[in-house]
Structure 1
Amino acid sequence: MAIWDFVKDAGKSVFGKAEAATPKPAETTAAPAAPAQDADTTRKVEALKAELRALKLDKDDVHLTLKGDTVKLESRGADRETLEKLVLAIGNIEGIAKVEADLPKDAGEAPVFHEVKKGETLSAIAKAYLGDANKYNAIFEANRPMLSDPDKIYPGQTLRIPKSA
């Protein structure tokens, strides 16, 4: 199983405020703390699944397990490109630091991901990886539907770099 690291404090906010899952003092009961943690984890997994649905990456065979700030991603039917997009869609969510997933057996070499630095553009990233700044659209297309506009990238975001353009 491969593990990809992400910037935990960067990305799309889908979990809402922490207070939303924490009972107010007046609502506190004598119940053990573990079920509340399970409820919060369940809420977060449902938020992750909702994000995948919004991106149209929700396949019936996608299973997510959340432990702290690490998500284990399992999918039997996903091809390599879809699996890489699933990893990025989950990893580019605020609060997620690591994503674990198995690439298909015939996957070959590891995928190339790039963490966006302050001031970078898709053109600069394309020049560095693909040798031509004008190939920025290949990176944009490789990251759809997570990217809606080639000018809307942010520091800490992780992008998938296609093998060729």
Structure 2
Amino acid sequence: MGFISFIKDAGAKVFGIGKTSEEEKAEAIDKLTNTINQLSLEVRSLAINLNDDTASVSGIAKDQETKEKVVLVIGNSAGIAKVEDNLEIEEVFEEEEECEPVPPSRFHTVERGDTLSKIAKEVYGNAMKYPVIFEANKPMLTDPDKIYPGQVLRIPNLD
């Protein structure tokens, strides 16, 4: 997927802004890893590295949705401006039947005045489709009214 840009100082406070010591990096990586695990996002061999305001993530995600959510958990953390996505998707095949891959979602950076309804209206042409966006961003979102400027959201395809 490559690099995905975020607003460096808009996210959750996972680690101190401007701190560069190796101990602080290790602590931030532990917090990010624990958050991903607490959200029950299934990734085997998860590895996160931090270099200034850029994070790189690798491992094998259960599916496309999990992959995108892991990138968002990391990128929506204060101090992260870019995420280099090196996650792979686990290929699961049932007997003689190939699973159809899910197309990647698009991402939307929340701006001042945005609501999930407004975003749904812009993207899908129907404000009442906001639950699709809310569900696509669970468990990171716990309330459809609690989004903030700079936050990056998954916008799944309806096809």
TM-score, normalized by the shorter chain, greater than 0.5: yes
Q: Which residue of 2 aligns with 1:73?
A: 57
Instruction: Tell me the equivalent position of 1:153.
Output: 147
Residue 103 and residue 56 in structure 1: after superposition, are their counterparts in 2 closer, same or farther (change >3 A)? Answer: closer
Residue number in structure 2 paired with 1:120: 114
| 1:75 positional shift | 1.6
**Residue type of the partner of 2:157?**
K
Gaps of at least 5 residues in structure 2 are 92-100
1:134 matched residue in structure 2: 128
Displacement of 1:93 in angstroms is 0.6
User: Does residue 1:41 correspond to 2:20, yes or no?
Assistant: no
Aligned length: 149
Which structure carries more helix by proportion?
1
8 Å CA contact 1:49, 1:58 repeated in 2: no
Deviations 1:80-111 (A, max 9, x none): 11000000111001111111113647968653
Q: Distance in 1 between matches of 2:32 and 2:7?
A: 16
Matched, 1:91 2:75: yes
What is the deviation of 1:40? 2.0
Larger Rg: 1
3-state SS in 2 of match to 1:76: strand
- Contact 2:42–2:61 under 8 Å retained in 1: no
Q: Extract unaligned runs of 5+ from structure 1.
A: 22-35
Structure 1 residues 150-159 or 39-48, which shifts more? Answer: 39-48
CA contact (8 A) 2:16 2:79 kept: no
| Matched letter for residue 107 of structure 2 | F
Q: Is the 8 A contact 2:44 2:60 kept in 1?
A: no
Q: CA RMSD in A?
A: 2.4
Amino acid of the residue matched to residue 8 of structure 1? K
Equivalent residues in 2 for 1:103-118 (5 A)?
Answer: 104=88, 110-118=104-112
Instruction: Give, in angstroms, the shift of residue 48 of structure 1.
Output: 1.2
Query: TM-score, normalised to structure 1's length?
Result: 0.80
Question: SS in structure 2 opposite 1:15?
Answer: coil
Question: Aligned partners of 1:108, 1:152: CA distance in 2, in Å?
Answer: 27
Structure 1 counterpart of 2:23, one-letter code: A
